[in-house]
Amino acid sequence: MNNQQKPYDNIPGTTVFDGDMARIGFHLNQFCMSLMQESNRVAFKQNERAYLDQWPMTEAQKTAVLERNFSQLIALGGNIYYLVKISSTDGLSVAAAVSTMTDLSVDEYIDMMRRGGRSPEGNRFTDQGENKPSEESLWQK
Amino acid sequence: MNNQQKPYDNIPGTTVFDGDMARIGFHLNQFCMSLMQESNRVAFKQNERAYLDQWPMTEAQKTAVLERNFSQLIALGGNIYYLVKISSTDGLSVAAAVSTMTDLSVDEYIDMMRRGGRSPEGNRFTDQGENKPSEESLWQK
Amino acid sequence: MAKITSGLGTSHIPLLGYLMDKGESHLEKWAPIFKGYEFTKKWIREQKPDVVILVYNDHATTFDMKLIPTFAIGCGESYRPADEGYGARPVPLVKGAPKLAWHVAESVILQGFDLTIVNEMTVDHGLTVPLSMVFGEVEEWPCQVIPLAVNTVVYPAPTGERCLALGKAIRAAVEQFPDDLTVQVWGTGGMSHQLLGERAGLINREWDLAFMDDLKNDYEKLAKISQVEYIRESGTEGSEMVMWLIMRGALNHEVQEVHRHYHVPVSNTALGHLIYENASQESEEEKAL
Amino acid sequence: MAKITSGLGTSHIPLLGYLMDKGESHLEKWAPIFKGYEFTKKWIREQKPDVVILVYNDHATTFDMKLIPTFAIGCGESYRPADEGYGARPVPLVKGAPKLAWHVAESVILQGFDLTIVNEMTVDHGLTVPLSMVFGEVEEWPCQVIPLAVNTVVYPAPTGERCLALGKAIRAAVEQFPDDLTVQVWGTGGMSHQLLGERAGLINREWDLAFMDDLKNDYEKLAKISQVEYIRESGTEGSEMVMWLIMRGALNHEVQEVHRHYHVPVSNTALGHLIYENASQESEEEKAL
Ligand SMILES: [Fe+3]
Ligand SMILES: [Fe+3]
């Protein structure tokens, strides 16, 4: 859906944060950046909607923030290094935020990592036989 | 005095704003930059000394600001694009500030410019016979 | 496909903007300055560029000593004219060309240029004065602008060779852009001036005119001029002239000079202005044979 | 004269700093991570570098979307550890090496690299975690640091070829510096990781180990890997590995690998670490014959 006609559009299960993504995500990412300040984190947690309304973000972006829908936030131009500032504000680990974008639960995700991570096999090309990213590890620890 | 052992140390009557100058002038130039804001200009004009004391500048730099000694400010790491923010705050033209660094009055400086500016002859090398910059114009308008 | 059709060089002397903003540009005493842009104002109405890539330097306005990019490309949606200490110039908002700008940024970074990407900034007289001199007093600027800010305040500025090469890389990038756009590249700054020291007021007319002569065909020679030589010959601030080399590099080897203007002095500075049109595609191809 | 004597590559995974700051780095469960740095801690006490040029990327900490430098060199007097959302790491202030940093900046800009000069910034885990892993818990860092921040957050990062060439230019610059200084260059980041999308958690051990193997002698081959290939093979964030090429370029062609450590996983990331010492001057000269 994003990254179309780019040299990376056939890499499955990721979105490269390029100029097109940066443009649509500019205010979303700058909102995330504002959460680096404690006073802003407090204001955001007190009334998330009101805080978001101070930013010229799209309604879809605001909704995705309120829903903590990270897959959607990535599709709407969010960059993961910015987005984790939302999950940090929630007191969540990076793994907790990241795992929501996969078809694994946090525990399953952490378990996969412990076993050596997700194998690149089947995850290099969208047309590589199986399109769906595999959670099997190529090597076991 | 400055620019020693640099490829430009034999150019008379100027100071190249290089890393060495930028280092010694950092806070001086950042002070100048603060004068881009009206509220800071007001505060500076109300009590110049007190305003300067908020900046980690050397005493020599502060004195040179108070005295509007531009030659000295350049020697102490000021950059002309920053320093003119002081003269702008005073309501002076760039020519008025710049001319104080020469041996000409403002009117003489402006008159020299009208006649085509200062000739490069004798102003290329410090060891070019006459060391002192010449105010004679090579060509007349 | 997008195409760079022409380029121009021009000084960006603050006084010129000041006179226009005060409504004094029509005074007889300033005629020797402004007459030289009358051709340009007619020419630009015929050329109708969609986008201008405007090479300029920031003068301690948007960038301070905290951070000094050698090359910064504006990929933002728009840019407000900066307050340089007297209030912002009363000129229109500068509309960006973010899609093309990001394309150029991406392409030239992959070609080995280490750009800084800027999405939000104000623009000072270095950018707005050329717009005023070329388009005149308008309700809105009739084209989109990609600001390309070059460090010429802190030594060292990028070399002439680097600037020329960046121009060539920009040309290659623009020519790969799928939209049908007419693009111009403007190099601004200079000409000879010296704003500090005992030597302040230095103007080197011969040097300036030789630079304008050589820029057409002997630009590779100009690209070898070191910043030290610029300082020695054309004043410490004369080294802004490297920015004209980015413009030159972005054009065909064969260009026609369709206009030239030189005037001394404008406040502390020598004013220079010229316009190049790319020779036709045909003659470029002939040359390649 | 200043001299680059050695270099190292290391991941800069935030968890490592977190564990040290919480006093948990000695727990048995983390031994497979920290054991791999025991050699390094002894080695650095013998090496006693005066200055470390520390190549890292900022992770949306100091730089936001307003301004994205491809290469930013820190020329400041010191740098505070950044508050990344949990308060700043309780580690010492990072002392800069401004005289050498300005020298390197000036030299490599004149060599055709378009650096952004930074005089004031905070530094995030990308810079402070490697310092902690190598020097351990100390009252103050036992050397000066020149931060070299590389954009790896916004596509495109600088190419591998560009990074390798920058390393070589840095080496030339350092060798011209008159003061007697022992300088190291550290490349940080990586190894394979993917922090977003359905594909999150990707780790490519084979790729990582091959990268570490080839870095010693076949680094020109590694320099040709495109960012797209990094993303495909080692995850979107795996492209941080280009930063190791700056370190490699700054060393002699002949190096000795004196240490290596690889461990999967550390939180979401593969951890890699190696140390190169420059072969003696003699053998370099032999090679030139
Ligand atoms: Fe200028
Ligand atoms: Fe990183």
Q: Which of D125, D253, D261, D273 is catalytic?
A: D125
Residue D193 known to be catalytic: yes
Q: Is the pLDDT of residue A124 over 50?
A: yes
**A26 interaction partners in chain C (CB closer than 8 Å):** 119
**H or E segment at D122?**
strand D122-123
User: How many residues can be counted in chain D?
Assistant: 289
- pLDDT value at residue C280: 72
Encoded tokens for C141: 């600027």
- pLDDT value at residue D288: 53
- pLDDT value at residue D192: 96
pLDDT in tens, chain D (289 residues): 999 999 999 999 999 999 999 999 999 999 999 999 999 999 999 999 999 999 999 999 999 999 999 999 999 999 999 999 888 999 999 999 999 999 999 999 999 999 999 999 999 999 999 999 999 999 999 999 999 999 999 999 999 999 999 999 999 999 999 999 999 999 999 999 999 999 999 999 999 999 999 999 999 999 999 999 999 999 999 999 999 999 999 999 999 999 999 999 888 899 999 999 998 755 555 555 5
- Report the mean per-residue pLDDT for chain C: 95
Given a contact cutoff of 8 angstroms between Cβ atoms, the answer to whether C275 and C8 are in contact is: yes
CB neighbour list of residue C43: distance below 8 Å, 6 or more residues apart: C258, C259, C275
Of D99, D106, D119, the CB nearest to B26: D119
Residue C125 known to be catalytic: yes
Q: Is the peptide bond preceding residue C191 cis, with omega within 30 degrees of 0?
A: yes
Nearest ligand to the CA of A84 is 2
Nearest to A89 by CA among A45, A52, A54: A45
d(Cα B90, Cα C103) in Å, to the nearest integer?
A: 44
In total, the C-beta contacts within 8 angstroms joining chain B to chain D are 18
Of D68, D106, D120, the CB nearest to C156: D106
Nearest ligand to the CA of C57 is 1
Q: What is the pLDDT of residues B38-76, one digit of tens each?
A: 999 999 999 999 999 999 999 999 999 999 999 999 999
Encoded tokens for C148: 């390309």
Q: What is the nearest CA distance from C120 to chain B, expressed in angstroms?
A: 18
d(Cα A54, Cα D140) in Å, to the nearest integer?
A: 42
Q: Which chains contact B through at least 3 pairs of Cβ atoms less than 8 Å apart?
A: C, D
Touch of C by D (3+ CB pairs closer than 8 Å): yes
Residue B141 pLDDT grade (very low, low, confident, very high; cuts 50, 70, 90)? very low
Question: What average pLDDT does the segment C247-254 reach?
Answer: 98
- pLDDT value at residue A141: 27
d(Cα B44, Cα B51) in Å, to the nearest integer?
A: 5
Residue A101 to residue D196, Cβ atoms within 8 A:
yes
Q: Which of D59, D193, D261, D273 is catalytic?
A: D193
Touch of B by D (3+ CB pairs closer than 8 Å): yes
- pLDDT value at residue C60: 97
Given a contact cutoff of 8 angstroms between Cβ atoms, the answer to whether D144 and D51 are in contact is: yes
What is the side-by-side order of every strand in the sheet holding C3-10?
C255-266, C269-278, C3-10, C182-188, C51-56, C144-150, C71-74, C116-118, D67-69
- Greatest pairwise CA separation for chain A in angstroms: 50
**B19 interaction partners in chain D (CB closer than 8 Å):** 75, 98-99, 102-103, 105-106
- pLDDT value at residue C86: 82
Residue C102 to residue A26, Cβ atoms within 8 A:
no
- pLDDT value at residue D122: 98
Of C64, C153, C201, the CB nearest to B117: C201
- Pairing, β C71-74 against β C116-118: parallel
Phi then psi for C53, rounded to 5 degrees?
-90, 110
Of C112, C118, C154, the CB nearest to D66: C118
**D66 interaction partners in chain C (CB closer than 8 Å):** 118-121
Nearest to D102 by CA among C62, C154, B80: C154
Residue D106 to residue B20, Cβ atoms within 8 A:
no
- pLDDT value at residue D234: 97
pTM as predicted:
0.95
Nearest to D243 by CA among D217, D264, D272: D272
DSSP chain C: --EEEEEEEE---HHHHHHHHTT-TTSGGGHHHHGGGHHHHHHHHHH--SEEEEEE---SSS--TTEEESEEEE-SSEEEEPB-SS-B-S-PPEE--HHHHHHHHHHHHHTT--PEEESS-EE-HHHHHHHHHHH-S-SS-SSEEEEEEE--SSSPPPPHHHHHHHHHHHHHHHHT--S--EEEEEEE--SSB--SSTTTTB--HHHHHHHHHHHHH-HHHHTT--HHHHHHHH-GGGGGGHHHHHHHHHS-SSEEEEEEEEEEEETTEEEEEEEEEEPPHHHHHHHH-
DSSP C161-189: HHHHHHHHHHHHHHHT--S--EEEEEEE-
Dihedral angle computed from the Cα positions of residues B53, B58, B60 and B66, in that order, rounded to the nearest 10 degrees: -30
Nearest CA in chain C to A21: C102
- pLDDT value at residue A135: 43
Of A14, A99, A135, the CB nearest to D194: A14
- pLDDT value at residue A139: 31
**C115 interaction partners in chain D (CB closer than 8 Å):** 70, 114
d(Cα B138, Cα D16) in Å, to the nearest integer?
A: 68
Chain CA centroid to CA C213, Å: 17
Q: What is the pLDDT of residues C202-215, one digit of tens each?
A: 999 999 999 999 99
- pLDDT value at residue C283: 52
Q: Which amino acid is at D223?
A: A
**B85 interaction partners in chain C (CB closer than 8 Å):** 60, 85
Q: Is the pLDDT of residue C114 over 70?
A: yes
- pLDDT value at residue D86: 82
Question: What average pLDDT does the segment C169-187 reach?
Answer: 98
Residue C250 pLDDT grade (very low, low, confident, very high; cuts 50, 70, 90)? very high
Q: What is the nearest CA distance from D152 to chain C, expressed in angstroms?
A: 12
Nearest CA in chain C to B18: C155
Q: What is the nearest CA distance from D90 to chain A, expressed in angstroms?
A: 17
Q: Is the pLDDT of residue C128 over 60?
A: yes
Residue D199 to residue A8, Cβ atoms within 8 A:
no
Q: Which of C125, C259, C261, C273 is catalytic?
A: C125
In total, the C-beta contacts within 8 angstroms joining chain A to chain C are 18
Residue A11 to residue D200, Cβ atoms within 8 A:
no
- pLDDT value at residue D287: 54
- pLDDT value at residue D267: 85
Neighbour count for residue D111 (Cβ, 10 Å) = 16
Residues of B with CB under 8 A from a CB of D: 18-20, 22-23, 26
Q: Which residue has the higher pLDDT, D131 or B128?
A: D131
Q: Is the pLDDT of residue B117 over 50?
A: yes
d(Cα D214, Cα A8) in Å, to the nearest integer?
A: 25
Q: What is the pLDDT of residues C4-15, one digit of tens each?
A: 999 999 999 999
Phi then psi for A108, rounded to 5 degrees?
-65, -40
Q: Is the pLDDT of residue B130 over 80?
A: no
**H or E segment at B132?**
none
Q: Is the pLDDT of residue A6 over 90?
A: yes
- pLDDT value at residue B126: 92
What's the first-to-final CA gap in chain B, in angstroms? 35
**D156 interaction partners in chain C (CB closer than 8 Å):** 106, 109-110
d(Cα D190, Cα D22) in Å, to the nearest integer?
A: 23
d(Cα D263, Cα D272) in Å, to the nearest integer?
A: 7
DSSP-derived 3-state class of residue D16: helix
Touch of C by A (3+ CB pairs closer than 8 Å): yes
d(Cα D85, Cα A86) in Å, to the nearest integer?
A: 10
Neighbour count for residue D179 (Cβ, 10 Å) = 12
Of B32, B80, B118, the CB nearest to C196: B80
Nearest to D147 by CA among D226, D37, D72, D62: D72
* Residue that is written with structure tokens 């650095």 in the block: D44
DSSP D52-103: EEEEE---SSS--TTEEESEEEE-SSEEEEPB-SS-B-S-PPEE--HHHHHH
Q: Is the pLDDT of residue B136 over 60?
A: no
d(Cα C28, Cα C31) in Å, to the nearest integer?
A: 5
